[in-house]
Amino acid sequence: MSKIAAALQIPDSVAQHRLSLHGDILHIEFIGALDLGMMKQLVPIYQACIAHFGYLLLMMDVSRSSGFDADARRYSVNWAKDYASVQSAAVYGAPVFVRSFLILLNRATFLLSKGTAAELNFVSSFAEGQTWLDGQRSKLQHAAAERLRAGG
């Protein structure tokens, strides 16, 4: 584990969903359904990453996910609207209906944040997602610096 990851402690799981930190990339393997209680446990982890790194690079394996309930979706979108400029997510294992669902959530965040949306990319593997997120890092570092200058 790198020094940067060692400085930030995250749990190994939230309910049945597995979490791990790879440098500054938070990897979540979603297993089964995600409800409001679980989302309320994930959001502080997202916020801890943003507080530590200045941004959130999120890798999501949704191959065994059965979706988010309505309350979890609403909570997620409401939280994300304030952090859209400093997060990027790579998603793998997503069938077409899951892709459509995640795109709709991202569009909702865009509308609520008045024109800012997190970068969302569907990839075929963890490795491809990591490469894409590595390319997002400098953009997010710049956005994080701008956010700090603006007092956010």
Residue ranges covered by each domain of the chain: 3-149
What SS3 class is residue 122? strand
**What pLDDT is attached to residue 57?**
97
| Pairwise CA distance, residues 57 & 25, whole Å | 5
Least confidently predicted of 54-58, 93-97, 120-124, 137-141 = 93-97
pLDDT tens by residue, 118-129: 788 889 999 999
**What pLDDT is attached to residue 121?**
86
Element (H, E) at 108: helix 96-112
pLDDT tens by residue, 29-85: 999 999 999 999 999 999 999 999 999 999 999 999 988 888 988 898 888 888 888
Strand pairing class (87-92; 13-14): unpaired
**What pLDDT is attached to residue 116?**
65
Query: What values do phi and psi take at 25, rounded to 5?
Result: -105, 120
Give which of 136, 59, 133, 45 is closest to 93, Cα–Cα.
Answer: 59
Give the domain 3-149 fold.
Transcription Regulator spoIIAA (3.30.750)
Instruction: Report the percentage of the chain scoring pLDDT > 70.
Output: 82
| Pairwise CA distance, residues 6 & 128, whole Å | 24
**What pLDDT is attached to residue 111?**
59
* Top-confidence residue, 41 or 151: 41
| Pairwise CA distance, residues 148 & 63, whole Å | 36
Tokens of 37: 């209680």
